Copies of this chain bind each other. A is one copy, B any other.
Amino acid sequence: MLMTVDVCPSPALYPYYEKEGDIVIVADIFRASTTICAMLQNGASAVIPVADIAEAQRYKSEGYRVGAERNARKCDFADGGNSPFDYPREKVEGKEVVFTTTNGTQAIEKARNCRQLFVGAFSNLQVLTEKCLSIGGRVVVICAGWQNKINIEDMLFGGAFAERLSEKSEITIDSDALRIALELWRKAKNNPLEYVKDTDHYRRLVVTGADGDVPYCLQSDTVHFVPCLDKADGKLKI
């Protein structure tokens, strides 16, 4: 099957990369998309992505379990922040978790109208690839970035995804953004952890003491499902 892949380097650029009928993968490797996968892995029945803090607080007052992060720190009112380790099974199993983050949940908001929206992370790379292959067509990886600036780790994921897909299918490469993502991934893939140590976001995570999450965020294929946005209720589910 011939597939087309593109990488949109920032949510703010999605209007220029968007085409009708796209499958969109939202990737916020450090850490929202990795954490969404971890929540569902640990038995959450759904994740409710919300873009703003006020809405998350409203859910909290209604008794929901709420994850909230801004600027790489957990928000005070929330049950957890943006670490995949904030949501162990005993805290989320069978529950819907409301989640708002600096970048990832904003990116989901931007792409709500696409054909199908998936959450992508290194943790679900293989199953994501298979899912996209089973649907076919054009897939756009939206890099969540950092406050609409582009970042390296999400671009690396775009490159890794395209490479994985190209092992299973012929893919069309007609985008400089994708070429750049592949170039970075080829350079980083032998040791992604070392590669990301000289990036903006890693440095930010060091400052907030969250860099311990990074090895998990870069580990491939620990999760065997794809979180998918249910357009009827706006929730992410397996």
Which residues of A pack against B, CB within 8 Å?
9-10, 12-13, 16-17, 146-152, 155, 174-177, 179-180, 183-184, 187, 198-201
Having A16-B147, A179-B198, one finds 6 other A-B pairs with CB under 8 Å, namely A9-B10, A10-B13, A150-B150, A150-B176, A175-B200, A176-B199
Given contacts A175-B200, A183-B184, A199-B179, A13 and B13 within 8 Å (CB-CB): yes
A125 to B180, CA, bound (A): 23
A147 to B177, CA, bound (A): 13
Report the minimum CB–CB distance from A4 to chain B (whole Å). 14
A174–B200 CB distance below 8 A: yes
Q: Determine the chain B residues whose CB is within 8 A of the CB of A200 once the complex forms.
A: 174-176
A115 to B143, CA, bound (A): 31
Name A's interface SS.
helix
A16–B180 CB distance below 8 A: no
**What residue of chain B has the Cβ atom nearest to residue A188's Cβ?**
B183
- How many copies of this chain are found per oligomer? 2
Q: Which listed residue, B9, B174, B175, B201, touches A9 by the CB 8 Å rule?
A: B9
B149–A17 CB distance below 8 A: yes
Q: Determine the chain B residues whose CB is within 8 A of the CB of A199 once the complex forms.
A: 176, 179
A sample of 24 inter-chain contacts (CB < 8 A) reads A9-B9, A9-B150, A10-B10, A12-B13, A12-B16, A13-B13, A13-B150, A16-B147, A16-B149, A146-B176, A149-B175, A149-B177, A150-B150, A150-B180, A152-B176, A174-B200, A176-B199, A176-B200, A176-B201, A179-B198, A179-B199, A180-B180, A180-B184, A183-B183
Q: Determine the chain B residues whose CB is within 8 A of the CB of A147 once the complex forms.
A: 16
A174 to B200, CA, bound (A): 6
A148–B187 CB distance below 8 A: no
**What residue of chain B has the Cβ atom nearest to residue A152's Cβ?**
B176
A201 to B175, CA, bound (A): 10
